[in-house]
Homo-oligomer: A and B are copies of this chain.
Amino acid sequence: MRSIMKFSKIPAVTITRLSIYSRCLEALAQEDVKIIASDKLAQKCGINPAQIRKDLAYFGEFGIRGVGYFVKELLSEIQRILGLNKTWKMALVGIGNLGLALVAHENFVRQGYEFVAVFDVDPAKVGRRLPSGQIIHHVDDLDKVVKEKGVEIGVIATPAGKAQNAAHRFIGSGVKAILNFAPIQLQVPEGMAVENVDFTVKLDNLAYHLTMAEP
């Protein structure tokens, strides 16, 4: 199955939606809902029901006709598809306000993501230990520490000016995926996966909406 999937192209939006479905299913499981139909799930997610069924169809058949989907089962299938049946090791560069908040964020751990190393350039910070336990390393040691700890995902929470440099270090140390909070477009080689989290882009969307919606 995996080997087939690997060559068929699945839209990025589908993966994003799978992730959203999993959030909804988690909530449903919490409420002790056993079975759900695509219509109901769609309503919860604000998505067309056919879309849900089609997204799932890329990966197999998980429902029962006339019945729906078993919540727990579907959740677990989606998590398997996304690759969440393991703990992913992350490293963070940039221990500012945002960086600290990220490390302290408990959602990550619940979802199977863990910060195993943190870095900064500020000599005043290097060597200190965070409340969550990690010792702050200097960015110059990134390559060494990343390899030692087997980091798989790099997280960049530096100011914009330092972000590309951080990216280069991650690239050099063999990390293949980067989550970037800096408001710039990182230049990375083919095959690297980069996801940007840019609050101000989202705010700009809202500002545009408000501006257009005005009377």
Using CB atoms and an 8 Å cutoff, list the residues of chain A in contact with chain B.
5-6, 12, 15-16, 18-20, 22-24, 27, 44-46, 81-84, 88, 96-98, 100-102, 104-105, 107-108, 111-113, 152-153, 160, 176-179, 183-185, 191, 193, 195-213
Name the B residues within 8 Å of A88 (CB-CB): 203, 207, 210
In chain B, what residue has the closest Cβ to A85?
B211
Asked if A206 and B153 sit within 8 Å, CB to CB, the answer is yes
Asked if A185 and B46 sit within 8 Å, CB to CB, the answer is yes
Name the B residues within 8 Å of A191 (CB-CB): 213
In chain B, what residue has the closest Cβ to A108?
B200
Given A45-B185, A183-B107, verify A84-B204 contact (CB < 8 Å).
yes
CB A47 to nearest CB in B, in angstroms, measures 9
* 29 pairs of residues in contact across A and B, judged by CB atoms under 8 Å: A15-B204, A15-B208, A16-B204, A16-B205, A18-B208, A19-B200, A22-B204, A82-B207, A83-B207, A83-B212, A88-B203, A88-B207, A97-B100, A97-B101, A97-B105, A98-B101, A101-B101, A108-B199, A111-B203, A113-B203, A153-B203, A153-B206, A176-B210, A176-B213, A177-B209, A179-B199, A179-B203, A179-B206, A197-B202
Asked if A15 and B205 sit within 8 Å, CB to CB, the answer is yes
Given A44-B185, A82-B208, 14 additional A-B pairs, CB 8 A: A5-B212, A18-B204, A19-B200, A19-B201, A23-B198, A27-B160, A82-B204, A83-B208, A97-B101, A113-B200, A153-B207, A176-B213, A193-B205, A193-B210
Task: Identify which of A27, A196, A207, A213 gathers the most chain B CB atoms within 10 Å of its CB.
Answer: A207
CB A186 to nearest CB in B, in angstroms, measures 9
Asked if B206 and A6 sit within 8 Å, CB to CB, the answer is no
With beta carbons under 8 angstroms apart, the residue of B15, B102, B199 that contacts A197 is B199
